Structures are given as C-alpha cells and as structure tokens.
Amino acid sequence: MLQEAASNILKFHDDFKSRIDVRLRDYPLMEGPVPMTSILLAYVLFAVFLGPRLMANRKPLRLNTAMIVYNFCMVLLNAIIVYEFMMSGWATTFTWRCDLIDTSKKPETLRMVRTGWLFYISKFIELLDTVFFVLRKKRTQITFLHVFHHSFMPWTWWWGVALTPAGGMGSFHAMVNSAVHVIMYFYYGLSAAGPRFQKYLWWKKYMTAIQLTQFVIVSIHISQYYFMEDCNYQLPLWIHLIWIYGVFFFLLFSNFWVQAYIKGKRLPSKDDKPTQNGSTSESIPVVANGKHLENGNANTHHHTNGKIIFGKVKEI
C-alpha cells in the first residue's frame, strides 16, 4: 500500500514537472515544486521553533544598517518589477480588461515571463523580514498570519508562474502589489534610519488607505471577468482565487481602519516619541501581504489599567 502510494506521488510529481512552462523551466527554483517547498518548510521551522530558541538566551541584535540597506534594495527591486510589468504588457499591449495568457515566444511575452518569475523570487527575499524579527527578538511580530502569508504566497505563486508565466489579467495584482511595496519598504527604510527621520514619517497613517485602495483596484479589475460574455481565460481558477484574496483582505483592512481611526483605538498620541533604534512608540496601522507593516522597525505599547498591551498590525 505504501509503495503504491509513493509510486503514485512520484508519478504525479513527474507528470506535473512535464507541465511546467518550457519558457522558464530552467529558471532557478522552477525545476519542480520540491525545492521551493523545502525552503518554505525550513522557513516555517526557523520562524516558529529554531529561530526563537536560538535567540532565547541571547541579546537582540541591532541591525539598523542591514535593515536600511535591505529595505531600500527592496524599494529598487519592486520598482523594477512594476516597470517591467508595465513595459511587457500593461502599458503597451494589454487592454486592462480580458487579457489572456500569452503562450508565444515574442520578446515582449518573454519579458513578462521573466517579470512574473522575478516577482515570485521577490517573495523569497521577503522572508528576510521574519529573519530580522527573530534576530531582534520581536516575537510579537511573528504571528500566524505573518508566517502563513510569507510561506503561502511564494508557494502559490510557484504554481501560477509554472503554469501561466505570462498570466494576462491574472498578473495585474502582482504589479499593483509591487507598487505598494515600493511605498511600504521606503517607509521601512526611513523608519530604520533613526529618530532624525521621524519627522518625515507623518504619512504613515495613510498606508492603510493605500492598502485598501490596492484591494479595491485589484478586486474591481478581476471582477470584470464575471461580467464579460466572451472572456475565455485559460485558467479561471486563478481569477477566483485573486478575487477571494482581494475581498478578504479588503474586509480585514477595513475592520482595522474602523478600529484605528473611527473608534480611535489606535490613534497616535502627541507624546509618541522616536526610540533609540529609530522606531516609533506606536503601531503602524497597515497590513500588507499578510505581514506586519513594521518589519522590526516599530514597537507598540499602550498602558491600560496598569497593564501593557502590545499592539501589532499585519501587512500584505
């Protein structure tokens, strides 16, 4: 029985490998689902068990310089991804409506294939967000949502890139997400740079609004599919998943916005001051990509009836 099950699994694995798009079959981490799944399982193990145990009896590391370099490199990387998405279709040949998956080998299509892969790889680089949390002993930031998003996002994108690298209308949300990450990591970089830059971070409360706008735009764009009579998108499952993702996180962020700004539970006080590590003393009300907007740069603490309640916000 076990031998038969193992044989069936191997057969399925080999069969699926043969379905990987030939245009990127030789790209790093695209040879099959096993290598990238192994990396992500190791990431979860490190984030939840090994990392915290490693740092349990050690002092938190000060990694401001490393975080400044990392964050501004992520700004550049995401800006490149946005530009490449635009130049490979979204600002050239796409209609912004029923744009189908392109299976040709035209130069512009191959450029879209490379960009989709680069977006996928960027999600592995973002695992460093969690590494910074662990090494700086920011345990409250390593929530289930944070770890789930950072592991699930690259895992699902592997399947999307492997089957539909030139994903047509299904790639729109990746472009928008990268544009938001340009802004987000720019904020991170300034926050890590120290107290002297805090005066330039007055716009942090608008980050949640930017996130909400992202989900509205993505949801509206992908919803067109349900009203088009002749949109024969080759893999409609991706359309459904993107729509569910956009609506779900819009509701999540809307709830945070209500709690933070309408009910005033997280409004910053006038007494909030920068700490020595260049972070603010109150939370950053943004959720982006399922992780904290504050990639180790901001701490939250509110005193209520003599108790300290640590607040956290997750980002997408």
Catalytic positions are: 149
User: What is the four-CA torsion angle of 155, 293, 51, 67, rounded to 10 degrees?
Assistant: 110
- Diameter of the chain by CA atoms? 67
Q: 296's torsion region: left (phi>0), alpha (psi -120 to 50) or beta? A: left
CA angle 123, 128, 132 (to 5 degrees): 150
Beta bridge partners of 288: 291
Q: Work out whether the CA dihedral 272, 277, 279, 282 comes out positive or negative.
A: negative
CA angle 82, 88, 90 (to 5 degrees): 70
Beta bridge partners of 315: 291
- DSSP H helix total and E strand total for the chain: 10, 5
